[in-house]
Amino acid sequence: MTSELDPSAVSLRGGELPWQPVSPALRTVRLIALVGWLLPFLLAFGALAILVSAWFWLGVAVVAALAAWGAWLITRQVSAITWLELPDEIVIRKGRLFRSLVSIPYGRLQYIDVESGPLMRARGIASCEFHTASPESGGTLPGLPVEEAEALRGRLAARGEAQRAGL
């Protein structure tokens, strides 16, 4: 299927290629993590507001605002991650305000990490990290369903082997 795709149609946004989104479960996971980070602060400020001074409600408001902003950001960010398997490379797009597009040739892949923390595992997703000989060029593709991530790794590893190029 991928062989029909035209690599020259790659673009930073939009485009007629079938860009694949990541799993919406990633949003849930990130939201849970965000809440996990902010909840203690919220509780602490709440307790202080009740026990010490009403001024601490200000802190509560700030944390709540942070949470709302974070949630909005996460939603926007996750929906902006799309990726595409081309005949010779994998392309990952990320970001809305700071857009980026990474194109990693299969022949350059050194190894692929698939990892998922407990939270991600509970939601059945994993993140794929692609390593080339350069530490800075590695792309990460978070939030793929676990089976898909494993399949992707297998597929890309095989293609990488076939197209392997010396340094």
**Residue numbers of the site for other proteins (CB under 8 A)?**
7-8, 10-12, 88-89, 97-105, 107-108, 132-137, 139, 161-167
Report the nearest approach of other proteins to the CB of residue 4 (Å): 17
- The residue (of 51 and 167) whose beta carbon lies closer to other proteins is 167
- Spatial separation of the C-alpha atoms in residues 2 and 102, rounded to whole Å: 18
- The residue (of 48 and 79) whose beta carbon lies closer to other proteins is 79
Q: Which of 121, 132, 120, 136 is nearest to 78 (CA)?
A: 120
- The residue (of 74 and 104) whose beta carbon lies closer to other proteins is 104
CA dihedral (156, 74, 115, 160) in degrees, to 10, reads 10
Residue 131, SS3 per DSSP: strand
- CB distance 43 to 91 below 8 Å: no
- The residue (of 76 and 121) whose beta carbon lies closer to other proteins is 76
Residue 95, SS3 per DSSP: coil
Report the nearest approach of other proteins to the CB of residue 131 (Å): 10
Report the nearest approach of other proteins to the CB of residue 24 (Å): 25
Bridge partners, residue 144, by sequence: 126
Report the nearest approach of other proteins to the CB of residue 104 (Å): 4
